[in-house]
Amino acid sequence: MLLEAIHHQPKSQYAYAYDEETLHIRVRTKRGDMDKVSVVWGDKYDFQPEKITTTEMTVLAHDKLFDYYQVEIKPPFRRFAYAFKFEKGKKTVFLNEVGFQEDELSQSGVGMLWSPSGMFEFPFLNAVDVNKPPAWVKDAVFYQIFPERFANGDPSLTPEGAEEWHADAVPTRDNFFGGDLQGVIDNLDYLVDLGITCIYFTPFFEAYSNHKYDTIDYLKVDPQFGDNETAKRLVDEAHKRGIKIMLDAVFNHSGYYWPPFQDVLKRGEDSRFTDWFHLRGLPISESPLNYDTFGFVPQMPKLNTENPEVKAYLLEVARYWVEDIGVDGWRLDVANEVDHRFWREFRDTVKTANPEAYILGEIWHNSLAWLQGDQFDAVMNYPVTNSILDFFVKDEIDAESFMGRLEQLLIAYPLQANEATFNLLDSHDTPRLLTLAEGNKKRMKLAALFQLTYLGAPCIYYGDEIGMDGGGDPDCRKPMVWEKDRQDKDMFAFYKKLIQLRKDYRALRDGSFTFLKAEKDAKYVAFEREDDANHFVVVMNSDEKKTKVKLPAEGSFVDMLTGKSYKASRGTLVVEVEGLEAVVLKAE
Ligand code: ARE
């Protein structure tokens, strides 16, 4: 037993409330080290030998080095004291808050060191503290729209000097094409046809640039896109079609032309807004830069969200769009650079306006600190993005590493945050999926298939579904291709089919997820997804060559992509998968 590998941390992703009565307890051990791992637990106010329960844990996930065990417990009085019991061969070791206890438990089940004060503790499960993302997110299929580039529905709003909208148009840092909100309204039925249930908009409030991350007025739709009434109409029309709307909250910084910043520029020390920003000197200077900004971008002065007036203003913005206009969620720009206290108040404001609103942080790294129930429901899952790309698209890692990376993420957060996570493969900040795949549509489809059969909510970046390509910002922001003969119809049909499959079977959205095969040096994976009603086995071949996979299984299966039937024989299912293809087998 390698005791050094064992890790547990109370009140963390290793011990949290999943719902109002259920605790998840996890512990890490060296991979393959233990015969049996259990939680030994009782009520902390009634910790008597005869009332102590031992519950066996199961392996939830593993990576190259570790196994991660988990158990679900519903303590009758919503509080509990616990320790772990590790068994290997004849050896038994306990771990409580004091440390490892190598002596055997006494007959009664409680040894000398087993006083409640030495136990780990989950002091009380208070419902208000439970991270409870809106239930609809698990079922959602998101579509990301960059408003300037999706569709031009009202040419009267098109900015002067805008370039012509066509399939070969080239986006630059500062050119315009004339996309607007009416254009989105006009194409809502296109999104219904594809199967979309929520649109994520990058900013559409008044701003100077084409991307609108440099806000001038947070309470007003940019005149190039329409007005607040158009936004209301968009929300209503979308809702009529079962589509929700999520907006981008750019609260880390304002734009250079935001009136309070302009006031500081003009009045210097006499401005009443000097404390609204992080100034390091006056008068304001862009070079050398003497105020904090997003990155080193002078057009984006960082907001002082500790200032009560700034806070009140931004919270009103958060409330207004949810309550008065009816949007269903906020994606929080540069979420990890804004103070936690602000986000806690933001959450209270938004959830008061609509308890079912989704709060999604834009964080590219580990985000546990924001996912404890008091700030965000979930984050944009860039670590999953990168794992999918590295395995299916770039062919840079083997199946074992792919599994290890995903499983590490699974235990990095409470389960409910993973269930409501936002899984994207590309965005307005990255090269497009097809370009990352160097034009290989088979690889692109493999990545999309995994995304659409994995847990969390998938998001499709506008145009991917018709085979649009594009390099990094700004090339990934080309105007949507509407010319029918330039759209990849096969790609559209592929996305549509997989989205429908995901919608038809809850198992593919919210069922258990288990890797069946993910071996060292292998270029294929197999996993299963299962709920009470259905059982799927998905085999994906990331190799150019055909592969033959043997899986432990019983009964008959049908491939939901081709209709082909498979039958297991003597406990083994043999599946041949062509190079860069996949089968999605449903048990019959
Ligand atoms: C433009 C140009 C850039 C240029 C920059 C500076 O396109 O090439 O370098 O200007 O002049 C918005 C616009 C961008 C614009 C930017 C600045 O969309 O086009 O860039 O404003 O004017 C980090 C942050 C993350 C952030 C990304 C971009 O953590 O929050 O960088 N993403 C949001 C939005 C962006 C938006 C802004 C923030 C600013 O989604 O669209 O940019 O409001 C690693 C790091 C991450 C890093 C990530 C990407 O993984 O770990 O922290 O994210 O790379 O760089």
CB of residue 502 inside a 6 A radius of ligand 1: no
Which residues, other chains included, contact 251 with Cβ-Cβ below 8 Å and sequence gap of 6+?
303, 305, 314, 317, 332, 333, 338, 342, 346
Are 336 and 288 contained in the same domain? no
222-230 CB contacts, 8 Å cutoff, 24+ apart: 223/157, 224/148, 224/157, 224/158, 224/159, 224/176, 224/178, 224/180, 225/147, 225/148, 225/157, 225/179, 225/180, 225/181, 226/154, 226/157, 226/180, 226/181, 226/182, 228/325, 230/180, 230/181, 230/182, 230/185
Give the residue, out of 144, 211, 427, with the most ligand 1 atoms within 8 A of its beta carbon, to mutate for a pocket test. 211
Token pair listed for 103: 């002596």
Q: What is the pLDDT of residue 109?
A: 45
User: Domain limits at 54?
Assistant: 3-129
Contact of 159 with 223, CB cutoff 8 Å:
no
CA-proximal residue: ligand 1, atom 23 (nearest): 334
Answer yes or no: is 363 within a domain: yes
CB of residue 250 inside a 6 A radius of ligand 1: yes
**ipTM tops 0.85:** yes
Are 27 and 89 contained in the same domain? yes
CA-proximal residue: ligand 1, atom 11 (nearest): 297
Query: In this structure, what CATH number is given to the domain that contains residue 121?
Result: 2.60.40.10
Are 448 and 525 contained in the same domain? no
Closest ligand 1 atom to 365 CA: 51
Question: In Å, how far are 354, 453, 529, 536 from 586, measured between CA atoms?
Answer: 38, 12, 10, 4
CA distance 95 to 34: 14
Q: How far, in Å, is the centroid of ligand 1 from the Cα of 339?
A: 19
pLDDT band at 103 (very low <50, low <70, confident <90, very high): low
Q: Is 272 helix (H, G, I), strand (E, B) or coil?
A: coil
Its pTM stands at 0.96
Are 239 and 341 contained in the same domain? yes
Q: What is the pLDDT of residue 74?
A: 97
R_g over Cα of the chain: 26
Are 563 and 573 contained in the same domain? yes
pLDDT tens-digit profile of 41-78? 999 898 877 888 999 999 999 998 999 999 999 999 99
Nearest Cα to Cα of residue 461 among 378, 329, 447, 239: 447
Are 60 and 96 contained in the same domain? yes
Answer yes or no: is 57 within a domain: yes
Q: What is the pLDDT of residue 50?
A: 82
Query: In this structure, what CATH number is given to the domain that contains residue 349?
Result: 3.20.20.80
Query: In this structure, what CATH number is given to the domain that contains residue 556?
Result: 2.60.40.1180
pLDDT band at 272 (very low <50, low <70, confident <90, very high): very high
Q: How many CA atoms lie within 13 A of 481 on its CB side?
A: 21
Nearest Cα to Cα of residue 194 among 497, 452, 449: 497
CB of residue 294 inside a 6 A radius of ligand 1: yes
CB of residue 222 inside a 6 A radius of ligand 1: no
CB of residue 146 inside a 6 A radius of ligand 1: no
- Annotated catalytic residues are 333, 362
CB of residue 238 inside a 6 A radius of ligand 1: no
Q: What is the pLDDT of residue 138?
A: 96
Domain total of the chain = 4
pLDDT tens-digit profile of 342-397? 999 999 999 999 999 999 999 999 999 999 999 999 999 999 999 999 999 999 99
Burial 29-47 (b: 16+ CB within 10 A, else e): bebebbeebbbbbbbbeeb
Token pair listed for 31: 């991979």
Token pair listed for 377: 């429901």
CA-proximal residue: ligand 1, atom 53 (nearest): 364
Answer yes or no: is 134 within a domain: no
Q: Is the peptide bond before 75 cis (omega within 30 degrees of 0)?
A: no
Closest ligand 1 atom to 336 CA: 29
Q: What is the pLDDT of residue 114?
A: 62
Closest ligand 1 atom to 294 CA: 39
Closest ligand 1 atom to 214 CA: 43
Query: In this structure, what CATH number is given to the domain that contains residue 282?
Result: 3.90.400.10
